[in-house]
Amino acid sequence: HLVLLGSQVAALSYGAAFKGLAITPFFLQTSASIWPLAPMVAVLLGLFGFSLMAMEQIIARNESGARLDALTGLLNRGALDMTAMGLVARWQRDGDPLSCLVIDVDHFKRVNDRHGHHAGDQVLRDIAAALDNSRRASDIAARYGGEEFCILCPHTDEHQATALANRILRKVRAIALPDGDGPGCGHASVSIGVAQLHGGPSSREGLWRSLFAEADRALYMAKTRGRDQFVLGSSMRPEAPDDAPAPAAQAEQDCISPA
């Protein structure tokens, strides 16, 4: 664009200096004299429009790269935190239920140790795809860090979120580990903690941290109970003795046994 414009100015300047041509600004010229300049103007406008589109694409690509996890294509932790703040603000405003699933890959270190990090990366990509294919369009899936993932479910209470947890467990069990490596049948598995936002700190960040912490505690309870299952965060809260179910009944209600 600049080279073309410069060449035109140089040509006009040469004509004025050495040929004695009178140069009249284009906005003072008649329509007949302006007509030969139309192709140049059209080219300049086209190049300018192309430059704007290219800049917009570069900016959009940079913004997308800043929000996405490079390995899995899911949102990264920073984007998850920003999205969570908005969902918590909606919960404060409208009172719609908001649930959180924290997901950790079982025995992931074993895959890395035996087959290398490239194999481990492929397992993470496969599990991320299973999460993405299991969630609804309104759910937000992210890689929280390492082999841990998180899904936020707006307009969803804790028990409704168990349907998503069950879908994830089934899809992940279909992922074969390298060389049949695994704790049992040679397939991947995950442990899941499910929690619903009920209240707590007054700040949005505090509420988000509280929700994640409750789901994270339920996740580690699922690990303790044998992995490849989910646990509800509500089962971790103290209850009145009269209302508390028997431990065996509670375990049956909150966990999904391995297939």
Same domain? 94 vs 112: yes
Same domain? 62 vs 118: no
Same domain? 148 vs 234: yes
Helix (H, G, I), strand (E, B) or coil at 241: coil
Same domain? 103 vs 174: yes
Structural domain contains residue 259: no
For the entire predicted model, the pTM comes to 0.68
Q: Is residue 157 within 8 Å of residue 99, measured between CB atoms? A: yes
Which of 23, 44, 67 terminates a domain? The answer is 67
Same domain? 89 vs 195: yes
Same domain? 47 vs 87: no
pLDDT at position 97: 95
Structural domain contains residue 41: yes
Task: Report CA-CA distances (Å) from 256 to 9, 16, 166, 228, 250.
Answer: 76, 87, 8, 8, 12
pLDDT at position 90: 93
Same domain? 46 vs 122: no
Structural domain contains residue 232: yes
Structural domain contains residue 13: yes
Structural domain contains residue 72: no
CATH assignment of the domain containing 165: 3.30.70.270
List the catalytic residues.
Answer: 147
Range of the domain at 195: 77-254
Q: Is residue 204 within 8 Å of residue 85, measured between CB atoms? A: yes
Helix (H, G, I), strand (E, B) or coil at 163: helix
Same domain? 180 vs 208: yes
pLDDT at position 178: 83
Same domain? 194 vs 231: yes
Total domains present in the chain: 2
Structural domain contains residue 127: yes
Same domain? 15 vs 37: yes
- The single-letter code of the amino acid at 176 is A
pLDDT below 70 — which residues of the chain? 1-2, 4-5, 7-9, 11-41, 58-65, 179-185, 238-259
Which of 67, 89, 107 terminates a domain? The answer is 67
Q: Is residue 251 packed enough to be buried (19+ CB in 10 Å), middle (13-18) or exposed (0-12)? A: middle
Same domain? 82 vs 197: yes
Distance of alpha carbon 99 from alpha carbon 222, whole angstroms: 17
